[in-house]
Amino acid sequence: MLNALFTILSTSYFAWYLENFEHAAVYPFDTTYASPAEAGAPGLTEGRATTEDGTMLVVWRHEAEAGKPTVLYFKGNAGGLKDRGERFRRLTSQGFGLVAPAYRGSSGSTGAPEERDLVSDARLMANGVSGPLVIYGESLGAAVAIQLAASGTGDALVLEAPFTSLVDLVAAQYPTEDLAQLMTQRWDSLSTVSDVRQPLLVIHGEDDRLVPVEMGKRIFERAGSARKSLIRVPDKGHAGTWTGETLNALFGFLDTPVPN
């Protein structure tokens, strides 16, 4: 039905779709600002980072304890930093450092998201971290994390519910429609992850209906890491994968990001 509809739409409507609908679907960010304390993570400090084009990014931080790595955390596209307060508290309670930037147009940050800009912002965040660095990405954040790690940044990589590409994800959700030609945000992680060499941990819910677990498996298999592990969390979907068993594996991985 959509194919037939798009064939009769005007060029101006196509432009409207690309400028509005696609970005709203890919980046449905929560613009609401909240402090770390309001999010249940009072141990974090809040700062601001300014990009080369003048965009202001909200960044939550926590210093790592001696001998512990800093986790550079890229969230998924749903919600904001305030919705990860419990996750951040769990990480920092183990002594890990944390740098959690809010994407452009999210959680009080200015600007509007574009694939190339989010990757550039990720590099800016990584450059500001000293000491061992673990890059963590969930869902959309996994795509950001893969691009960053593939450039040689970071000592280890954690991916939660990664998708092979945004085009593949849309095709999986709408198998009867050919929407790829309309997409400007592509996030082709499968082509990029082969350049990842850092130790890798992939976490994916077995019952994930948004990002099929097979996508996480393909990302894991394609990754160029010599040391890598895949955790398929039973009876969990796109959320809820931080079970006790998963956290034990995650914390152990974070404590030994670089192989001896």
Query: In whole angstroms, what is the distance from residue 155 CA to residue 131 CA?
Result: 10
The residue type of 219 is I
Residue 73 lies in a domain: yes
For residue 195, being part of any structural domain is answered with yes
How deeply is 95 buried, as exposed, middle or buried, from its count of CB atoms within 10 A (0-12, 13-18, 19+)? middle
19: in domain: yes
Alpha carbon 84 to chain centroid, angstroms: 13
Q: What is the pLDDT of residue 107?
A: 98
Q: What are the tens digits of pLDDT across the range 134-143?
A: 999 999 999 9
Torsion 221-185-119-84 (CA) sign: negative
pLDDT at site 19: 55
Asked, for residue 56, whether it belongs to a domain, the answer is yes
pLDDT tens track, the chain, 260 positions: 333 333 434 444 544 554 567 888 889 999 999 999 999 999 999 999 999 999 999 999 999 999 999 999 999 999 999 999 999 999 999 999 999 999 999 999 999 999 999 999 999 999 999 999 999 999 999 999 999 999 999 999 999 999 999 999 888 877 766 777 778 899 999 999 999 999 999 999 999 999 999 999 999 999 999 999 999 999 999 999 999 999 999 999 999 866 44
Its domain, for residue 16, covers 2-255
Q: Would you say the pTM of this structure is higher than 0.95? A: no
| 153-195: pLDDT as tens digits | 999 999 999 999 999 988 887 776 677 777 889 999 999 999 9
CA atoms 89, 239, 69, 251: torsion sign = positive
Residue 260 lies in a domain: no
CATH of the domain at 82: 3.40.50.1820
Q: How far is CA 223 from the centre of its chain?
A: 16
Rounded Cα distance, 241 and 235, in Å = 9
Q: Residue 210 falls within a domain, yes or no? A: yes
CB 233 within 8 Å of CB 249: no
Total domain count, the chain: 1
